[in-house]
């Protein structure tokens, strides 16, 4: 991932303002408990953070995972502009920008915010969760030109790769969303999808809370699917297969229709599947059919902080231990000072199996989530109200 190492320098030279025509430094934030610093920039109409890690002889300037934009060239150019603007002595760099590789912003890349009051420009919609190399997603989109395929992938380089393929193949019926599918699904209107594909999800045997399939994912899938629409799981892991069966047929499910197939060949073989087939592993398909229409979901949660502003007393109040509540948690992870009058808090919060990772900016006049608000779910909103209560000293 893009980074440079630079000779140590006096960071007091980092000031708010324009460094180039396209790059503006918004603020600099210093970690309260280590020497790390964050530089907030606006580049190419996107706000994101760069992280400065100070080792004794050289410093590392790199991207921040929570706020990183999808396009790697934006990151590279942002780092390059900051480095040139500050006149940094670069010791090592991997940010060569290849002009031919610059991709214009793609109309097929959607952000989580785009899904507030979304309308689909196709008569039918399907979702693929964790599309990886995108082989199956692209195949389906080519085969069904009148259906919109929403590919949701948490791994940013995979999402960027597939966006390139969409441009190359000239496809008009795919949207790519670089986000946690478990959260995004909650933004999709009820009764709208024909299929939800979950092919070869990561088994997460040691961290089951990270699995895509869960009782709440099943519930959301059934809400989002149209009547007779299907959730389609394909896995090579016997453990995941049995875990899914327990989830699909468990106590919380009163009525369902589940179909199982073993070693069914599909028209298209993904990269992962090819590997398992070479190893002669069994492949399991589980199809869960939606049987009932669901109620409409209204997403009108407000994630603003209203009158909340920064007060010095807050520095004493914040506890860095995770706090558990009924159905959600809040974990303030790090605090960064922006001069004497503002702070940036890094936190994880929300439901246990679908946590959000965000920053909150607070100064004497205003507070907001940097660089985007949480997904509009009931649990996130409940947590947001608790965060507001907590920060209001």
Ligand X SMILES: C[S@@+](CC[C@H](N)C(=O)[O-])C[C@H]1O[C@@H](n2cnc3c(N)ncnc32)[C@H](O)[C@@H]1O
Binding footprint of ligand X on the chain (CB under 6 A): 129-133, 152-155, 158, 180-182, 199-202, 212, 270-273
CA distance 313 to 318: 9
How far is 301 from 244, CA to CA, in rounded Å? 31
- Closest separation in Å from C-beta 44 to ligand X: 24
Number of Cβ within 10 Å of residue 329's Cβ equals 16
Least Å distance, CB 48 to ligand X, is: 20
153 is in an annotated binding site: yes
Nearer to ligand X (CB atom), residue 83 or residue 156 = 156
- Those residues whose C-beta lies under 8 Å from the C-beta of residue 88, and which sit 6 or more positions away, are 4, 6, 7, 9, 61, 82
Q: Which is nearer to ligand X, 135 or 384 (CB)?
A: 135
Closest distance to ligand X from the beta carbon of 180 (Å): 4
Question: Taking the mean position of all CA atoms in its chain, how far away is CA 290?
Answer: 27
What's the closest the beta carbon of residue 332 comes to ligand X, in angstroms? 23
206 is in an annotated binding site: yes
CA distances from 223 to 79, 273, 306, 365 (A): 43, 29, 32, 41
Annotated ligand binding at 180? The verdict is yes
DSSP 149-192: EEEE-S-HHHHHHHHHHHHHHT-SSEEEE-S-HHHHGGGSPTT-
Question: Which residue pairs, CB below 8 angstroms and at least 24 apart, start in 253-256?
Answer: 253/215, 253/218, 255/291, 255/292, 256/288, 256/289, 256/291
Please state, in angstroms and rounded to a whole number, the distance separating the CA atoms of residues 184 and 178.
10
Alpha helices by DSSP H, the chain: 72-85, 135-143, 156-169, 181-184, 215-224, 238-249, 271-278, 314-317, 378-391
- CB of 112 closer than 8 Å to CB of 375: yes
Q: Which residue, 272 or 329, is less far from ligand X as judged by CB?
A: 272
**Looking at beta carbons, which residue is closest to ligand X?**
130
Nearer to ligand X by Cβ, of 41 and 185: the residue is 185
Residue 128 labelled as part of a binding site: yes
Q: Which is nearer to ligand X, 162 or 391 (CB)?
A: 162
Rounded to the nearest whole angstrom, what is the least distance from the CB of residue 125 to ligand X in the complex?
17
Q: Which is nearer to ligand X, 7 or 209 (CB)?
A: 209
For residue 261, give both structure tokens. 């197939």
User: Residue 281 CB, nearest distance to ligand X (Å)?
Assistant: 13
Query: At closest approach, how far in Å is the CB of 191 from ligand X?
Result: 22
CA distances from residue 265 to 27, 75, 103, 203 in whole angstroms, order as listed: 54, 41, 36, 21
Q: Cβ closer to ligand X: 14 or 183?
A: 183
Q: What residues form the annotated binding site?
A: 128, 153, 180, 206, 236
Q: Binding site for substrate, residues?
A: 206, 236
Residues annotated within the binding site for S-adenosyl-L-methionine are 128, 153, 180
């Amino acid at each position: 991932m893009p980074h440079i190492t630079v000779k140590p320098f006096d960071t007091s030279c980092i000031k708010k303002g324009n460094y180039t025509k396209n790059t503006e430094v918004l603020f600099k934030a210093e970690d309260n408990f280590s020497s790390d610093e964050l530089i907030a920039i606006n580049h190419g109409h996107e706000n994101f953070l760069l992280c400065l890690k100070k080792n004794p002889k050289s410093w590392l300037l790199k991207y921040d995972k929570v706020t990183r934009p999808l396009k790697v060239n934006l990151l590279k150019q942002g780092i390059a502009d900051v480095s040139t603007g500050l006149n940094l002595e670069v010791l090592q760099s991997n940010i060569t920008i290849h002009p031919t590789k610059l991709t214009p912003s793609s109309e097929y890349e959607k952000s989580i915010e785009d899904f507030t009051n979304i309308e689909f420009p196709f008569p039918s919609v399907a979702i693929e969760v964790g599309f990886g190399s995108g082989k199956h997603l692209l195949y389906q989109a080519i085969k069904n030109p009148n259906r919109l395929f929403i590919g949701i992938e948490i791994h940013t380089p995979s999402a960027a790769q597939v966006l390139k393929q969409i441009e190359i193949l000239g496809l008009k019926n795919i949207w790519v969303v670089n986000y946690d599918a478990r959260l995004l699904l909650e933004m999709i209107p009820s009764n709208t999808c024909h299929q939800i594909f979950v092919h070869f999800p990561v088994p997460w045997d040691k961290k089951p809370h990270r699995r895509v399939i869960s009782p709440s994912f099943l519930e959301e899938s059934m809400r989002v699917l149209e009547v007779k629409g299907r959730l389609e799981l394909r896995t090579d892991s016997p453990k995941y297969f049995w875990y899914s069966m327990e989830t699909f047929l468990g106590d919380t499910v009163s009525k369902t229709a589940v179909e199982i197939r073993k070693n069914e060949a599909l028209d298209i073989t993904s990269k992962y599947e090819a590997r398992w087939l070479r190893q002669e592993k069994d492949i399991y398909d589980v199809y869960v059919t939606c049987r009932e229409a669901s109620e409409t979901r209204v997403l009108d949660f407000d994630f603003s902080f209203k009158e909340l502003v920064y007060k010095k007393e807050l520095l004493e109040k914040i506890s860095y231990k995770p706090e558990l509540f009924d159905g959600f948690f809040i974990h303030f992870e790090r605090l960064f000072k922006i001069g004497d009058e503002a702070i940036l808090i890094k936190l994880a919060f929300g439901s246990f199996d679908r946590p959000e990772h965000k920053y909150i900016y607070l100064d004497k006049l205003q507070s907001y989530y940097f660089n985007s608000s949480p997904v509009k779910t009931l649990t996130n909103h409940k947590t947001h109200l608790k965060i507001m209560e907590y920060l209001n000293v």
